[in-house]
Amino acid sequence: MRALLSGNEAIALGAWEAGVAVGCGYPGTPSTEILEALIGYPGLYTEWSVNEKVALEVGLGASIAGGRALVTMKHVGVNVAADPLFTSVYTGVNAGLVVVTADDPSMHSSQNEQDNRHYAVAAKLPMFEPSTPAEARLFTRWAFELSEQHDTPVFLRTTTRLSHSKGVVPEVDRTITPAKHPVGVDQNPPKYVMIPGHARVRRVEVEARLAELRRVVETHPANVVERRGGVGVITSGVPYSYVREVLPDASVLKLGIVHPLPEQLIRDFAASVETLYVVEELDPVIETQVRAWGLGCHGKDTFPAIGEFSPEVLRASLGLPQPGSVAAGDLEVPMRLPGLCAGCPHGHVFNVLRDRGLFVSGDIGCYSLGVLPPYRIMDTLVDMGASITMAHGMDIVLAQAGQTHGQRAHVSAVIGDSTFAHSGITGLLNAIWNKRDGLYVVLDNGTTAMTGAQENPLSGERMGHENSTHVDYVLLCRALGMPEQNVRIVDGNDTAAISAAVDELATLPGVKLLAAVGLCVMEAKELRKTGKLAEKKAWRELQLTAACRGVRTDA
């Protein structure tokens, strides 16, 4: 039976068919729906991990114990996971380990446009890049096979367009029982204990494996040559579809594996065409290698290095006429800025901070919209958890300049609950330990709202809405060394309570933490449909009382 699936749903299908035992990751657009689809399949375990580094380590541990593991994250999440990623290439795997990096050309929902193909080159692991949902499913299965055959983690790269576009996936049978890798912890310290003496040996292994992979990709079925006319195009991923539409008579080398590149295949293809183009979104990764081999081609001299491609972009780059439809640029479309949902509790905190004219060190989440009208209250935003650590850095310099405690109380930080768990707690510990001053506000709506309301360690639920433990702010802060009077938990919809807490905390020395507990109205809408809204509201209200100490009473 055929099925109409998004790229993300197809990856989940491919992973299940491959007998994946563990799926884990941190939610981040455009990768989130992979695990949300995977949880619907039987016979496997899924989790939202607290961050991408943790997720990759969970996946590597599962692999060493004999369970195939799928680890998902958006492109910037790979920055967080880079530490275990690079060394996991040295240890290799037992059962297959596939890491999905979902890149975001044009930054539809991201703070930068990094091209994660560079990670495959730098960390020396193979990377698949499918063009369609059908390939996303197939390449996921191939990625697990390649991982085990060559004892390496394998990247699967998608972009927003593939992750969220739907396509026909053939021969879907959800009644099968996928074969599983044999389970058993592989005790092999020279392979898995990366002390320098072992790592030096494995370093040689990494290069030998890469040399072998260079041979494998020359004939791997993921790399396909389509022979037509004298114009030749090397491409990969979603741009393949645009090439077929804009240059239907061109010969095409479609690379399904973008690292390592098949040198001889590319040389032969280049020799068989009169003019060679490399069509790749973002950085000239393929083009640079092709030129390094001494092959002439057109790449970034013709196509842009910034932003997502489309048939229109390719036609404009090649000087070809656009089809006769009305170009979007000719339409009068009123500009609409994104904004918080009506009724979002974050607005109450924003109003209080704005009324006091505070400098706000911001973070990643819905609340980053606080930089826009009507609030205009955010002054910095860089990466997950940076609100607290950057406010810390500012506090140091302002103190060096002789500013009093009262003057430095002008700097605050805001961070959401999921981001706080992801990488805010380490910054909080660092600030307390280093005896800094600062007011840090956790905008706690008990969910990872920006990516569609996934559970996190502040939700009282784990993946699949299963009741679980909950971080208690007072106990956490006390354990980290903060006096209890420096912690406040207030109703995020109560402006008067937020105002009073901010003013009172501003008078206290040291690090202060204010948790504004509310409910995401978008999540509430969904909970109302499933009849779970009253339960969540009751749980949120319980958090405002001293009765809440770490564990849900109904967990």
Q: Which parts of this chain interact with ligand SF4 (CB under 6 A)?
A: 340-341, 344, 346, 366, 445, 449, 520-522
Q: Judged by CB, which is closer to ligand SF4: 225, or 341? A: 341
Instruction: Kindly tell me which of 371 and 521 has the beta carbon lying closer to ligand SF4.
Output: 521
Residues 6 or more apart in contact with residue 382 via CB below 8 angstroms: 111, 390
Q: Are 381 and 111 in contact (CB under 8 A)?
A: yes
Closest-CA residue to 13 (of 235, 124, 167): 167
Give the SS3 label for residue 488. Answer: strand
Q: How is residue 200 written in tokens? A: 């030096």
Closer residue to ligand SF4, CB minimum distance, 141 or 540: 540
Q: How far is the CB of 449 from ligand SF4 (least distance, A)?
A: 3
CA distance 74 to 52: 9
* C-alpha closest to that of 33 among 131, 138, 166: 166
Which pair of tokens denotes residue 62?
Answer: 């599962």
Question: Nearest distance from residue 150's CB to ligand SF4, in Å?
Answer: 42
Can you tell me which residue has the tokens 């920006």? Answer: 450
Determine phi and psi for 490, rounding to 5 degrees: -130, 165
Instruction: State the minimum distance, in angstroms, from the CB of residue 348 to ligand SF4.
Output: 11
Which residues, 6 or more positions from 143, have their beta carbon under 8 angstroms from its beta carbon? Answer: 96, 98, 128, 154, 155, 156
Compute the least distance from the CB of residue 544 to ligand SF4, in Å: 18
Looking at beta carbons only, is 290 or 340 nearer to ligand SF4? 340
User: Under a CB-based contact definition with an 8 Å cutoff, are residues 320 and 246 in contact?
Assistant: yes
Q: How far is the CB of 476 from ligand SF4 (least distance, A)?
A: 22
Q: How far apart are CA 353 and CA 499, in angstroms?
A: 8
As measured in angstroms, the least distance from the Cβ of 520 to ligand SF4 is: 3
Residue closest to 426 by CA, chosen among 459, 392, 449, 455: 392
Structure tokens at 99: 């890491």
Identify the residue whose tokens are 């055959």: 149
Q: Choose between 508 and 521: whose C-beta lies nearer to ligand SF4.
A: 521
Residue with Cβ nearer ligand SF4 (71 or 498): 498
Strand 275-279 relative to strand 359-361, pairing: unpaired
Distance of closest approach, residue 342 Cβ to ligand SF4, in angstroms: 8
Question: Between 258 and 349, whose beta carbon lies closer to ligand SF4?
Answer: 349
Calpha distance 254→240 (Å, rounded): 7
CB of 524 to ligand SF4, least distance (A): 8
Q: 19 or 347: whose CB is closer to ligand SF4?
A: 347
Q: How far is the CB of 340 from ligand SF4 (least distance, A)?
A: 4
Query: Which phi and psi (to 5°) does residue 72 adopt?
Result: -120, 145
Nearer Cβ to ligand SF4, position 126 or 347? 347
